[in-house]
Structure 1
Amino acid sequence: MVKTALVIIDMLNTYDHEDADVLLPSVRQALPAVVDLLEQARERCLPVIYANDNFGKWRSHHGEILDAALAGPHAELVEPLRPDEASYFIVKARHSVFYETPLTYLLGTLGVDHLVLCGQVTEQCVLYSALDAHIRHLAVTIASDAVAHIHQDLADAALRMIETNMGARILPGAHALD
């Protein structure tokens, strides 16, 4: 039997970076679908895993990352995604949710073999995370309306590569957990 987990990538964000102005409209567009996926996963008692960049703050933990994002100028993009007590949290330093993190071990202990990925940025962290999941023989679904991009053309190409080269499903968030 397939066990699914929802992975929310880099959505706890202060948007204090070079590409923020270009990224923010896409985040605003994707946010309702991410929130809907989060609610669906919680209702179905599926594991919810936040995989979030530490923004180079090597002494930070998930509470500090969340607090910084909620104190930032775009807290309205973070508040609806606030982790609950049942959520898991992986701090990452690079693009992939797997790179130098305990995610593979966590998924094994949870018996997860299918990931639904959402978050940001489609042409970077989502792409590299999907590839790393694929090489670990995990099934992948990308919630196409629940991912945000900096460059639309690269995001479209990334989704095509994920689907074609990795055999992932690309579905709207409403059907991604099915």
Structure 2
Amino acid sequence: MGSTALIVIDMLSTYEHEDADALVRSVRKALPGIGTLLEHARGAGAPVVYVNDNFGRWRSHLGEILEAALAGRHGDLVEPIAPDDQALFVVKARHSVFYETPLAYLLGQLDVQRVVLCGQVTEQCVLYSALDAHIRHLDVVVAVDAVAHIDAGLADVALRMMESNMSAQLRPSREITFEGATAG
């Protein structure tokens, strides 16, 4: 049996988009759950992979994206969940963390069979990432208190879809364990 990886989706953000105000309210509620997951995963030695949009900046890298996010309007949302020195980082340009990224290969190299998804946006990037994980035969867990949304109604529907159509387990962060994890 493979290990479990925590996938942190799009949390390094400057929040400079039209839906930012609605998202920020939800992110504030999700931060404690994300912090709990990071603590549990790091404590177990599980791989923690930040997968983040590059915002169309094609020469960007983790340091640049993190710096911009910390200096942005809501750096206070980024600072408590910023990557540590052990975190892995993958840049994405579209909604799914898997679409045209090396994430599937990376997870294979780490012998990951189960992914725990957290981050933003539930009804967009989290949903599409859960689907892509499912079609790659990965076990999917979504931390319901560690995902943020723009539209609460769509987020609820997206979570139900992940559970019924993708066999995702929906769990609060405090109930998610990372036993059997191996650091990569």
Using the size of structure 1 for normalisation, the TM-score is 0.98
State the match for 1:64 in structure 2. Answer: 64
State the match for 1:106 in structure 2. Answer: 106
Distance in 2 (CA, whole Å) between partners of 1:144 and 1:82 is 20
Shift of 1:73: 1.6
Structure 1 residue runs of 4 or more that deviate by more than 3 Å after TM superposition: none
Question: Residues 2-42 of structure 1, C-alpha deviation per residue, up to 9 Å, x if partnerless?
Answer: 41000000001000011001111000000011011101100
State the match for 1:90 in structure 2. Answer: 90
SS in 1 for 2:59: coil
Q: What amino acid maps onto 2:163 in structure 1?
A: E
SS in 1 for 2:97: coil
Indicate the structure whose relative CO is greater, using CA pairs within 8 Å and at least 6 residues apart: 2
State the match for 2:117 in structure 1. Answer: 117
Distance in 2 (CA, whole Å) between partners of 1:63 and 1:100 is 21
Query: What's the % identity of the aligned pairs?
Result: 66
Shift of 1:177: 2.6
Shift of 1:121: 0.1
State the match for 2:174 in structure 1. Answer: 174
Q: What amino acid maps onto 2:139 in structure 1?
A: A
Question: Residues 126-166 of structure 1, C-alpha deviation per residue, up to 9 Å, x if partnerless?
Answer: 00000000000000000000000000010000000000001
Equivalenced residue count is 178
Matches within 5 A, 1:137-152: 137-152=137-152
Contact 1:142 1:176 in 2 (8 A): no
Distance in 2 (CA, whole Å) between partners of 1:51 and 1:16 is 18
Distance in 2 (CA, whole Å) between partners of 1:25 and 1:2 is 36
Distance in 1 (CA, whole Å) between partners of 2:50 and 2:35 is 13
Shift of 1:93: 0.2
Give RMSD over aligned pairs: 0.8
Distance in 1 (CA, whole Å) between partners of 2:59 and 2:175 is 38
Q: What amino acid maps onto 2:118 in structure 1?
A: C
State the match for 2:49 in structure 1. Answer: 49
State the match for 1:35 in structure 2. Answer: 35
Q: What amino acid maps onto 1:94 in structure 2?
A: R
Distance in 1 (CA, whole Å) between partners of 2:80 and 2:156 is 26
Distance in 2 (CA, whole Å) between partners of 1:156 and 1:2 is 30
Using the size of structure 2 for normalisation, the TM-score is 0.95
